[in-house]
Amino acid sequence: MKWFRKIPEEIKSQILENIKSNWKSVPQMADEYNISTKTIYAWIKNDTEYKNPKSWWYSRSAILEINRLKKEKKDLISIIWSLTVVVEKVKKKEIIL
């Protein structure tokens, strides 16, 4: 049977502030305060500042999305380069498919 403990509001706000202002990670805060990451992510989702389109949370998620897209772009460029090399070799009849 699972049991739940009530986390004081001061601790909750302190954790959220550390994540927002001090750029600490959710897993890091979860370990430090012995709280589940799911709980902290739920707090973030329910935070009123999170729901504001101009908030820090949106800019943070935008940064993560940009980084993901940069990685995806790098991977796609690598694939295109590989395919270009194959096409050039086929044109020169170095490879028979």
pLDDT per residue, tens digit, the chain (97 aa), is: 566 778 889 999 999 888 887 778 888 999 999 999 899 888 888 876 666 666 666 666 667 777 889 999 999 999 999 999 988 888 887 666 5
Distance CA 16, CA 10 (A): 10
| Residue 3 maps to a domain | no
Number of domains in the chain: 2
Q: What is the pTM of this model?
A: 0.50
Distance of alpha carbon 71 from alpha carbon 28, whole angstroms? 24
Question: Quick one: 35 and 16 in the same domain?
Answer: yes
Task: Write out the residue range of the structural domain in which residue 12 sits.
Answer: 8-47
Do 70 and 93 reside in the same domain of the chain?
A: yes
Q: Identify whether the C-beta of residue 49 lies closer than 8 Å to the C-beta of residue 42.
A: no
Q: Do 97 and 58 belong to one domain?
A: yes
Q: Are residues 42 and 64 in the same domain?
A: no
Statement to judge: residues 43 and 68 lie in one domain: no
Residues 24 and 42 in one domain: yes
